[in-house]
C-alpha cells in the first residue's frame, strides 16, 4: 500500500512514521524539519487533492457513488436507486409511447408542470451531492492552492449541471405558457372523412388600414391517418360568397357577400352581435363562408398576423427560398375611399419603392421575407397569394429540431404575437401525431383562381366539385409525389414563366400542385 493509499483508509495512529507525541502547546513534531512535519507537508496536499477531485468527478458521473465510497452509504444507495428508477421509467415511457407519444405528452400543461417540479428537485439534489462530495474530500487539510482548485471545480460542476437544468425548466415553462395561452381544453372535433379541416387566415393591418383584412384565406385539409395535407386557397378578391342557409349571415346577405372575401373577417369582427358566444366573430364568419363555398365542414381556425412573421423568421435564423423575379419593397397604392359599386375601394396615392428583393436562391431575414410575401406592385394578387403560401410552408419545412431548441423562448414569444386559434388539446394531439408524416410528404395546393373559377360571379357547385376532386387526388398522391404541376409566375405585363412539371398529371386529375416544387427551397 502506498503512502497516498494510506491517506484514504488508515487512521493517523497506524501510519508508519516516527511515534512522536504532541503536547497541547506544541512539541518536537511541530518543529520544521522533524520527520512528522516533513511528511505532513509532503503528503497532505497531494493525496487530499486527489481524493477530492475523484469524489467530485464520481458524483458528476454517477450521483451517490462518492457517498457509497466515503460518506453516508444510506444517502449513496438512495441516490443510486433514484437514478436507476428514473432510467427504467424513461425506458418504459419510450417503449410504451414512442417519440410521437412523448411529444404529445409534452404539450399537456399538467405534464409540463410535473416536469418542471421534477427537474428542480433533481437539480437541487444533484447539487447537494456535489457539495457533500467536496466536503468528503476534506479540503481544509490542503494547502491554499489545492483547496481553491477543488472548491472551484465543485462550483464549476454545480454550474455545469445547473445551467442545462435551468434552461430545461425555462423551456418547459415557456411551452406550458404557450399551450395555455393558445390552446383550448377539450377533445378533437368530429372528423370529416378522417380529415381535419382548418381555416388558415393570414393578414395584417398594413399601411393605412383600419382593422384586419385576411389577404390569405385558405383551408388546410389534413388526413389524420396518413398525414397528407391539401391546402385549398380562396382568392382574396372573390365576391358574393355564400353562407349556410338559415344562418344570420345568409339572412343578411341572401345574394352573397358583395365585398371581397377578405372583408368578411373584418365585417364579422365589427358585428359581434351576429355571432353570440363566438370568441372570434371575424373567424366564425369566414369559416361559415368557407364551409358553404367549399362543401366541407371547417372544424378549427388559425389566424396569422403576417406582420409578426418578421420576428418569427428572425428567430429561425432566416428563410431560404428561391426568388423567381425581382420584387419591389413597398410600392402599390394607399387605400382610398371604399365607395365603389359592390363594396370595392378606390386606389389612393402611390407608396414609395424602398428597394428590391433580387432573383435567385436567397436566405431572407424577417423583414425581406415579409416583403417577399406581400409585394404586389409588379405582380398580380394571385402571385402574392402564392408567395404567402410559400413563406408559410417554408417556415414549417425549415424548422429543424436544433434551431427550435436553441431559439425556443424567442419562438414562443413570437408565436404568441403571431397566432390565434381555437384548436383544442385533443386536436393538437392529433396534429402532432401526424406532423412527422406531413413534413415528409409534399403539401399539395388547390388554387381557386381563373380560369378554374370566376371570382366576380363564383358558382358554388363547380367549386365544390373541384374541392372533391382535389381531396381525392391528394389521397391518391404517394408519399413521394409522382405528379407536380408547373410553377406559374404571372407579372402584370401578362408574360408567364413556367417551371416544367416533374411528370404528367393523371387523366382526369384536378390541377393540384406541390408547394415544394412551386416554391423551390433549394
Q: Give residue-wise pLDDT tens across range 431-471.
A: 888 877 777 777 788 888 888 889 999 999 999 999 999 99
pLDDT over 70 percentage in the chain: 75
* Structure-derived torsion over alpha carbons of residues 498, 499, 501, 505, reported in degrees to the nearest 10: -30
* pLDDT-derived band at 241, boundaries 50, 70, 90: very high
CA 160/CA 141 separation, integer angstroms: 26
* pLDDT-derived band at 19, boundaries 50, 70, 90: very low
Backbone φ and ψ of 33, nearest 5°:
100, -15
Residues 6+ apart with CB under 8 A from 467: 232, 294, 295, 296, 446
CA 371/CA 357 separation, integer angstroms: 8
440-471 residues labelled b (16+ CB within 10 A) or e (exposed): ebbbbbbbbbeeebebeebeeeebeebbebbb
Prior bond to 451 cis, omega within 30?
A: yes
pLDDT tens for 193-236 read: 899 999 999 876 543 444 566 778 899 999 988 888 888 989 88
CA 151/CA 148 separation, integer angstroms: 5
CA 513/CA 318 separation, integer angstroms: 25
What 85-88 contacts at long range (C-beta under 8 Å, 24+ apart), as own/partner pairs, is 86/122
Query: Per-residue pLDDT for 343 more than 60?
Result: no
CA distances from 418 to 164, 196, 201, 202, 387 (A): 28, 22, 11, 10, 18
Place of cell 381555437: 422
Query: Per-residue pLDDT for 81 more than 50?
Result: yes
CA 316/CA 418 separation, integer angstroms: 14
pLDDT tens for 175-199 read: 888 888 888 899 999 999 899 999 9
CA 57/CA 53 separation, integer angstroms: 6
**What one-character DSSP code corresponds to residue 325?**
S
Q: pLDDT higher for 70 or 198?
A: 198
CB 451 within 8 A of CB 340: no
List alpha helices for 363-400, DSSP H.
366-374, 381-397
- CA 269 from centre of chain: 28
Q: What is the pLDDT at residue 100?
A: 74
User: Treating both helix axes as pointing N-terminal to C-terminal, what angle do 35-61 and 144-182 enclose, rounded to 10 degrees?
Assistant: 10
CA 202/CA 215 separation, integer angstroms: 6
Q: pLDDT higher for 142 or 185?
A: 185
CA 512/CA 469 separation, integer angstroms: 9
For residue 212, give the C-alpha cell.
Answer: 384586419
CA 97/CA 258 separation, integer angstroms: 51
CB 509 within 8 A of CB 483: yes
CA 469/CA 447 separation, integer angstroms: 13
pLDDT tens for 279-301 read: 899 999 999 999 999 999 999 99
CB 134 within 8 A of CB 56: yes
Q: What is the mean pLDDT of residues 418-426?
A: 89
**Torsion region of 379: left, alpha or beta (phi above 0 gives left; psi -120 to 50 gives alpha):** beta
Q: In whole angstroms, how large is the CA radius of gyration of the chain? A: 33
For residue 266, give the C-alpha cell.
Answer: 373584418
Indicate yes or no: pTM above 0.85: no
- CA 78 from centre of chain: 38
Backbone φ and ψ of 264, nearest 5°:
-60, -45
**What one-character DSSP code corresponds to residue 20?**
-
3-state DSSP assignment of residue 77: helix
CA 287/CA 513 separation, integer angstroms: 24
For residue 517, give the C-alpha cell.
Answer: 416544387
Q: Which residues pair with 356 in a beta bridge?
A: 328
CA distances from 403 to 107, 353, 379, 396 (A): 19, 33, 33, 12
Amino acid at each position: 500500500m502506498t503512502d497516498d493509499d494510506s491517506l484514504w483508509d488508515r487512521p493517523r495512529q497506524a501510519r508508519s512514521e516516527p511515534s512522536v507525541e504532541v503536547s497541547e502547546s506544541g512539541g518536537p513534531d511541530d518543529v520544521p524539519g522533524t520527520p512528522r512535519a516533513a511528511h505532513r507537508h509532503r503528503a497532505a496536499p497531494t493525496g487530499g487533492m486527489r481524493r477530492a477531485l475523484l469524489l467530485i468527478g464520481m458524483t458528476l458521473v454517477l450521483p451517490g457513488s462518492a457517498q457509497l465510497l466515503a460518506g453516508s452509504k444510506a444517502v449513496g444507495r438512495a441516490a443510486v436507486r433514484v437514478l436507476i428508477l428514473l432510467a427504467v421509467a424513461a425506458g418504459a415511457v419510450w417503449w410504451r409511447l414512442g417519440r410521437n407519444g412523448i411529444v404529445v405528452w409534452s404539450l399537456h400543461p399538467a405534464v409540463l408542470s410535473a416536469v418542471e417540479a421534477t427537474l428542480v428537485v433533481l437539480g437541487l439534489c444533484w447539487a447537494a451531492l456535489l457539495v457533500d462530495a467536496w466536503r468528503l474530500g476534506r479540503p481544509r487539510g490542503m494547502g491554499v492552492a489545492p483547496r481553491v482548485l477543488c472548491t472551484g471545480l465543485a462550483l464549476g460542476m454545480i454550474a455545469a449541471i445547473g445551467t442545462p437544468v435551468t434552461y430545461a425548466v425555462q423551456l418547459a415553462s415557456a411551452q406550458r405558457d404557450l399551450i395555455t395561452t393558445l390552446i383550448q381544453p377539450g377533445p378533437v372535433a368530429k372528423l370529416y372523412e378522417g380529415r381535419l379541416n382548418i381555416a388558415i387566415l393570414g393578414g395584417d393591418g398594413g399601411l393605412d388600414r383600419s382593422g384586419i383584412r385576411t389577404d390569405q384565406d385558405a383551408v388546410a385539409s389534413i388526413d389524420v391517418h396518413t398525414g397528407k395535407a391539401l391546402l385549398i386557397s380562396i382568392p382574396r378578391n372573390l365576391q358574393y360568397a355564400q353562407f349556410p342557409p338559415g344562418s344570420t349571415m345568409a339572412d343578411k346577405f341572401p345574394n352573397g357577400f358583395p365585398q371581397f372575401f377578405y372583408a368578411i373577417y373584418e365585417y364579422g369582427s365589427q358585428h359581434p352581435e351576429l355571432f353570440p358566444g363566438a370568441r372570434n366573430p371575424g373567424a366564425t364568419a369566414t369559416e361559415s363562408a368557407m364551409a358553404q363555398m367549399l362543401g366541407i365542414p371547417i372544424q378549427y381556425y388559425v389566424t396569422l398576423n403576417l406582420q409578426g412573421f418578421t420576428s418569427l423568421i428572425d428567430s429561425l435564423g432566416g428563410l431560404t427560398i428561391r426568388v423567381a423575379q425581382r420584387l419591389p419593397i413597398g410600392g402599390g397604392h394607399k387605400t382610398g375611399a371604399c365607395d365603389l359599386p359592390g363594396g370595392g375601394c378606390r386606389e389612393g396615392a402611390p407608396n414609395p419603392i424602398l428597394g428590391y428583393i433580387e432573383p435567385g436562391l436567397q436566405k431572407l431575414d424577417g423583414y425581406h421575407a415579409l416583403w417577399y410575401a406581400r409585394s404586389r406592385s409588379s405582380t398580380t394578387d394571385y402571385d402574392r397569394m402564392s408567395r404567402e403560401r410559400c413563406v408559410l410552408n417554408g417556415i414549417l419545412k425549415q424548422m429543424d429540431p436544433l434551431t427550435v431548441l436553441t431559439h425556443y423562448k424567442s419562438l414562443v414569444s413570437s408565436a404568441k404575437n403571431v397566432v390565434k386559434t381555437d384548436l383544442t388539446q385533443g386536436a393538437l394531439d392529433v396534429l402532432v401525431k401526424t406532423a412527422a408524416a406531413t413534413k415528409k410528404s409534399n403539401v399539395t395546393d388547390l388554387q381557386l383562381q381563373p380560369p378554374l373559377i370566376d371570382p366576380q360571379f363564383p358558382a358554388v357547385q363547380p367549386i365544390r366539385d373541384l374541392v372533391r376532386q382535389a381531396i381525392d387526388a391528394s389521397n391518391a398522391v404517394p408519399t413521394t409525389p409522382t405528379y407536380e404541376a408547373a410553377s406559374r409566375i404571372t407579372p402584370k405585363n401578362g408574360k408567364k414563366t413556367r417551371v416544367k412539371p416533374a411528370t404528367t398529371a393523371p387523366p382526369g386529375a384536378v390541377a393540384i400542385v406541390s408547394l415544394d416544387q412551386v416554391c423551390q427551397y433549394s
